[in-house]
Amino acid sequence: MVIVDEKLKHIAFIMDGNGRWAINRGLSREAGHTQGAKTFERVVKYCGDIGVKCVTVYAFSTENWSRPKSEVDRIMLLLERYLDRMMKRMDEYDVCVRFIGDKQPLSDTLKKKIQRVEESSGGKTLRLNIALNYGGRAEIVHAVNTLISRGTCSVTEEMISENLYTADCPPPDLIVRTAGEQRLSNFLMWQSAYSEFYFTDTLWPDLKEEDIDLAVESFYKRTRRFGGVLKSEAVPKSPH
Ligand code: IPE
Ligand code: IPE
Ligand code: MG
């Protein structure tokens, strides 16, 4: 178990590979999502245990509506069940949950459950953002439209950042994607400008605490320059 410090406040996960995990076992894709939901709960708990302040998970993208209805329905049902469990035992979940994305197309039942959990889970140790019907492009468009509706004619980077769904969180220090794909798939496009990326071939349902340790260890070996030059890397003074 690795313990993180203020250098690693926010980890984001692209939870990919549920479908392949199930197909490899001759199971339905839905079964893969059921298993993936268990991994999600374990990962969130572990991140809290190692001292991470904020976790963002990509649960469903704006593009994932194109999947078969049975699969979409299962993902939504799994989220409902998670929210039900959380509502029943709120004090056991030391997390403050926020959904990021456009909630409007969600079912009324899910919307109500989200609202109840969001209202009752403030002030906890770990902030958990669940990206649901989330798209990075849609989020930026939403931020700009919010500003326009307030009469803004020109925007700054700060104004856009302040109007994203994640406005009250630091940007992700580390983005972990499982299942071998090395792409963002429209996740946190704005916020990931200086994030470190960690890709693993492990499928999401197979992800273990040790795999998170490996990602964290990899993060601590990186040099983050944010476009600058570190003192230790500065060119030595020329004798001339
Ligand atoms: C989970 O993995 C991601 C979600 C969209 C919920 P996938 O369902 O994309 O799994 P693969 O990529 O098909 O294996
Ligand atoms: C990204 O995974 C979305 C989530 C993890 C929710 P996808 O499986 O939808 O991404 P692509 O289609 O492989 O890029
Ligand atoms: Mg996938």
Q: Give the chain's largest Cα–Cα span.
A: 73
CATH superfamily of 10-234: Decaprenyl diphosphate synthase-like (3.40.1180.10)
Atom number in ligand 2 closest to CA 183? 14
Name residues whose C-beta falls within 8 Å of residue 89's C-beta, 6 or more positions apart in sequence. none
Q: Is 16 a known active-site residue?
A: yes
User: Could you tell me the residue ranges of all domains in the chain?
Assistant: 10-234
Which ligand has its closest atom nearest to the C-alpha of 182?
2
Which residues sit with their C-beta closer than 6 Å to ligand 1? 15-20, 36, 60, 64, 75, 179
For residue 178 and ligand 2, the question of a CB distance below 6 A is answered with: no
In angstroms, the CA 172 to CA 166 distance is 10
Token digits for 192? 């990931």
C-alpha to C-alpha distance for 58 and 130, rounded to whole angstroms? 6
Closest ligand 2 atom to Cα of 185: 14
Cβ atoms of residues 8 and 173 within 8 Å: yes
Residue 83 Cα to ligand 2 midpoint, Å, equals 22
Q: Tokens in use for 179?
A: 């299942």
pLDDT mean by block of 10 residues, the chain; 240 residues? 96 98 98 98 97 98 98 98 94 92 98 96 90 98 98 98 98 98 98 98 98 98 96 77
Say if residue 119 is exposed, middle or buried (CB neighbours under 10 Å; 0-12, 13-18, 19+).
exposed
Q: Three-state DSSP class for 177? A: strand
pLDDT score recorded for residue 76: 98
172 — alpha (psi -120 to 50), left (phi > 0) or beta?
Answer: beta
Question: Best mutation site among 18, 67, 130, 181 for ligand 1, i.e. most ligand atoms within 8 A of its Cβ?
Answer: 18
Say if residue 53 is exposed, middle or buried (CB neighbours under 10 Å; 0-12, 13-18, 19+).
middle
Catalytic residue among 18, 24, 64, 108: 64
Tell how strand 174-177 and strand 126-134 pair up.
unpaired
The HSE-up count of residue 100 (CA atoms within 13 Å, CB side) is 28
Pick the atom of ligand 1 nearest to 71's CA.
8
Pick the residue whose CA is nearest to atom 1 on ligand 2.
185
Q: What is the pLDDT of residue 119?
A: 94
**162 Cβ contact partners less than 8 Å away, ≥ 6 residues apart:** none
For residue 86 the two structure tokens come to 């959380």
Q: Which numbered atom of ligand 2 lies nearest the CA of 64?
A: 9
What residues form DSSP beta bridges with 126?
95
Q: How far apart are CA 208 and CA 222, in angstroms?
A: 22
Q: Which residues contact 159 (CB under 8 A, 6 or more apart)?
A: 147, 152
Strand locations in the chain (E): 10-14, 54-61, 95-100, 126-134, 174-177, 196-199
How far away, in angstroms, is 19 Cα from ligand 1 center? 5
* 188 contacts 182 by C-beta, under 8 angstroms: no
209 CA distance to ligand 1 middle (Å): 20
Cβ neighbourhood burial of 110 (10 Å; 0-12, 13-18, 19+) = middle
